[in-house]
Amino acid sequence: MINTKNDVTYQKSRHFHLRWVKFFLCKILYSLLFLLFCLFCQNLPLEAKVTGNCSNCHTMHNSQNGETMIILGPGEIDTSPKGNLLRASCLGCHSKTDGSTWKDPATGAPIVFNSQQPSYNSVMGLAGGNFYWVQTEDTYGHNIFPNNPDEILTVAPGASYGVGCGLNSCHNNLYGTNTNFGTRQGCSKCHMMGNSSGPTGYHHINTNGTLVESADQGWYRFVAGHMSGDGYGVAGIEDSDWQQNPSASVHNEYLGWSATKTSAGGFSSSGANVITAYCTGCHGNFHIEQDASYVWIRHPSDAIVLNSGEFAVAFGASGGTGTYDPLIPVARPSLSGWTGPSSTVTLGTDLVMCLSCHRAHASPYFKMLRWDYKSSTLSTALSGCNVCHTSKN
């Protein structure tokens, strides 16, 4: 009798257990289907040019019902009319006072400055990082704030260009204002540069989905050369959501070029439309990476990641092919014919570049690095290095 009672209890328990398993499996199935749907949507070509009504960005009289139409960014107070009938400075459109918005819902503008700590992804910023981090710590990024200038650096480390452009040359700092090529301060010291008198109007060009490699396309993220670098710009493939949620197969792509490494960088020196050439327009001496006997004297940039020694297993590679890691991006020697990002890293072909280690805007870490190189836990500090330097773990 007792045994029968126990059997019934057991059967009930087992039945309940099976129902729970079925429920759990269904949940997983639905989640996978939803994930697949999301991935499908992610790969659709989306608009990245500014969208919506003209009045989202422009104002005819800077007045509506007697009120100013200027959109102020965090810390801004100037509501006077702006050039090109714009309603905002760069930060006016590309910033938010919260930490959760990564794209302006009206204009589609990527948010590069959240005045609250970014919370929308694990790296706490978009592909270039977030200027939030440099508000209180100058060593965490490029300081673009005129009212909160860099207290440590007055000249770009490794500067080799821009001599004679004045104290607030673009090559010296980003927070000051100069009038060398139109009035430039902050963002416009890097973006929409050309030999023209003012910022170029790249915002109206749709550049998503395919390779961006010319001025007609606005260059990659609107970054181009001038003076000796005139006619050059950065080539790449722009992720449609600025790597808000990157993966091995969803990310930006960058062009690299293994040019001479015994002289200062810049477009004219490199002769290629590569991001490293752009960075070294200000940090040129950092591109003097080899001495006369071609021994590395600075960390390589735009150098091929070898398929030998400890590098043979970089990026988890086997047989020369590894998995792309958006935390440690590589550049490609050619993007010709590319229509989207690749999920693989080809050792002996792909290149390490400035952005392999640094974020362009700012990061939560010292020297705008992509990982916490100053972590008190050594394995964490070296975690980024170990992606390539696999035996130094």
Partner 1 sequence: MKDKWFYKKSQHFILSFSSLLLAICSFIWLWYPDKAISGPYLNSAHGNTSYGVNRSATGFPADYARGNCAHCHEQHASIGGSEPNPTGGPSKFCLLADNFSGVTSKPYSQSDNVCFYCHINTNTLQSPSFSNYSYSITFGGNPDTTPNNIFDAFNSLSYHNLYDTYRFITGLSGSHPNFTNFPSDSNPCSGCHNIHIAQKSCGKPSGSFDTTKSAISKPSDHSNLWGDSAGEKMSNYTGGYQAPYYNSAVTYEPDGSGSSDPSKLPDYVTFCTDCHNATNTINSALLGRTLYKINWANEMHGGYVADYCSKSGQSLLAVPYDGITKCGQYVTACTDCHEPHGSPNNFLVRKQVNNGTVTVTQYGEGLGPDGRDNKEWVYLCGRCHTNLNAGDLHTHPTGGGLGCMQCHPGGGNYRNCMDCHFHGNSSIDGTPYGKPLF
Q: Which residues lie near partner 1 (CB under 8 A)?
A: 3, 6, 10, 139, 152-153, 155, 157-158, 283, 286, 288, 291, 293, 295-299, 357, 366, 373-382, 385-386, 390-393
Q: How far is the CB of 364 from partner 1 (least distance, A)?
A: 15
Q: How far is the CB of 286 from partner 1 (least distance, A)?
A: 5
Ranges of H-type helices in 51-102: 90-94
Nearer to partner 1, 122 or 377 (CB): 377
Nearer to partner 1, 338 or 366 (CB): 366
- Is the Cβ–Cβ distance between 229 and 281 less than 8 Å? yes
Residues in the chain: 393
Strand order in the sheet with 331-332: 211-212, 236-237, 253-255, 331-332, 351-352, 303-304
Nearer to partner 1, 204 or 392 (CB): 392
Nearer to partner 1, 28 or 378 (CB): 378
Q: How far is the CB of 138 from partner 1 (least distance, A)?
A: 9
Q: How far is it, in rounded angstroms, from Cα 54 to Cα 123?
A: 33
Nearer to partner 1, 249 or 375 (CB): 375
Amino acid symbol at 219: W
Q: How far is it, in rounded angstroms, from Cα 136 to Cα 131?
A: 10
Q: How far is the CB of 299 from partner 1 (least distance, A)?
A: 4
- Residue with tokens 């590309």, as numbered in its chain: 94
* Residue among 201, 202, 150 at smallest CA distance from 174: 150
Q: How far is the CB of 152 from partner 1 (least distance, A)?
A: 6
* Residue among 116, 145, 113 at smallest CA distance from 129: 113
The terminus-to-terminus CA distance of the chain in angstroms comes to: 64
Nearer to partner 1, 51 or 375 (CB): 375
Q: How far is the CB of 344 from partner 1 (least distance, A)?
A: 24
